[in-house]
Structure 1
Amino acid sequence: MAKYIGPIVCLLIMIMDVVAGILGIEAEIAQNKVKHLRVWIFECRDPSYQAFKLGLAAAVLLALAHTIANLLGGCVCIWSKEELHNASANKQLAAASLILSWIILVVGFSLLIIGAMANSKSRKSCGISHHRFLSIGGILCFIHGLFSVSYYVSAIATVQDQHKMNPHHPHPHPHSQGGGHA
């Protein structure tokens, strides 16, 4: 049973990120349906409660997918140049995917929250236009899914490689006991 967890985790992460991306794009569509007056980069518009709910849901799903990938993937870190040069390809891929997934999480989550909060007020608001924040955040959710799955798969492969190299050492990752993962 343990060898089937990897593909299920990958599928779960991708589904959550795809749904988050769709919700972000739907939030942008809902935001664009409300009345607004625009002059250059400034606009006055009514908030869209639907866009607020969808944007917030997208941000929560993005954060949850990231948390699952990082908790179940474990910690594969490279702390020095020497360690980077001596690391396996799986470990290098895991470290690069981890860094990129964190960057995409921060940017995508920020955009989704800014877009959602722009729609949270119960009164008409005027200010700098927040167009495309929700849709760009939604698109970043799709990209985040790719890097999160890449991190999870390469982190599991790194742990399995380390276990093969040193089979008598206690195994640090609970999911890789049963053999081949994703």
Structure 2
Amino acid sequence: MSKDIGVLVCLSIMVLDISAGVIGIEAEIAQNKVKHPTQLVVECTIPSFKAFKLGLAATILLGLAHVIANVLGGCICIGSKADLPTANRQLAISSLIFSWIILAIGLTMLIIGTLANSKSRKYCATPHHRLFTIGGILCFIHGLFAVAYYVSAKATAKEERQNRRGSQA
């Protein structure tokens, strides 16, 4: 039964991250459809409401995928110093760190792109192209690290339960 739930959790994390990535790239396409008059190096940005909505959706999906992976994966970082770190624990900690780093960068890119397309933001400045595309690509990478964290955290928890049973016997 728990294996079925684990597969379902991994699939839901990947579906959310892939959806966020695709929606982020669609937001970039919607943003590029709006005319951007340029003057020398300065580009006047006219906000795209469709890009705003898509960017907001991608941001929410990325955040939701991260929350699911961390909440259902559990906290494996807490343990006694006497325990030797196993390969699963090391993989869980490293994938957790990388998923947080990728989340921070990807979420920042998506939020900046979304705010640039807010209705109240018509401005002229140096262009910020490809924010949604980079954020969307980072969503795909985040999915890999989030699933790796979830799987290795569950494997670590299973190892610790077996070690406790073995030491009590």
TM-score by length of 1: 0.85
Counterpart in the other structure of 1:174: none
State the alpha-carbon separation in 2 of the partners of residues 94 and 114 from structure 1: 30
Using the TM superposition, give the Cα deviation of residue 3 of structure 1 relative to its aligned residue in structure 2, in angstroms: 2.6
**2:110 maps to 1:112:** yes
Alignment of 1:81-160 (within 5 A): 86-122=84-120, 124-160=122-158
Using the TM superposition, give the Cα deviation of residue 2 of structure 1 relative to its aligned residue in structure 2, in angstroms: 2.6
**2:41 maps to 1:50:** no
Deviation string, structure 1 residues 139-178 (Cα, Å, up to 9, x no partner): 0000000000000000000000000100289xxxxxxxxx
Using the TM superposition, give the Cα deviation of residue 40 of structure 1 relative to its aligned residue in structure 2, in angstroms: 5.9
Using the TM superposition, give the Cα deviation of residue 42 of structure 1 relative to its aligned residue in structure 2, in angstroms: 2.6
Using the TM superposition, give the Cα deviation of residue 77 of structure 1 relative to its aligned residue in structure 2, in angstroms: 1.4
- Indicate the SS of the match to 2:118: coil
Using the TM superposition, give the Cα deviation of residue 106 of structure 1 relative to its aligned residue in structure 2, in angstroms: 0.4
State the alpha-carbon separation in 1 of the partners of residues 11 and 151 from structure 2: 12
AA of the residue aligned to 2:85: A
State the alpha-carbon separation in 1 of the partners of residues 8 and 164 from structure 2: 27
Counterpart in the other structure of 2:28: 28
Report the CA distance shift for 1:79/1:37 in structure 2 as closer, same or farther (over 3 A): farther
- Indicate the SS of the match to 1:126: strand
Using the TM superposition, give the Cα deviation of residue 125 of structure 1 relative to its aligned residue in structure 2, in angstroms: 2.1
State the alpha-carbon separation in 1 of the partners of residues 39 and 136 from structure 2: 26
- Indicate the SS of the match to 1:76: coil
| Contiguous gaps of at least 5 residues in structure 1 | 170-182
Using the TM superposition, give the Cα deviation of residue 79 of structure 1 relative to its aligned residue in structure 2, in angstroms: 8.0
TM-score by length of 2: 0.92
Counterpart in the other structure of 2:74: 74
State the alpha-carbon separation in 2 of the partners of residues 124 and 72 from structure 1: 41
Counterpart in the other structure of 1:180: none
> Percentage identity across aligned positions?
60
Using the TM superposition, give the Cα deviation of residue 41 of structure 1 relative to its aligned residue in structure 2, in angstroms: 5.0
**2:2 maps to 1:5:** no
Counterpart in the other structure of 2:60: 60
| Contiguous gaps of at least 5 residues in structure 2 | none
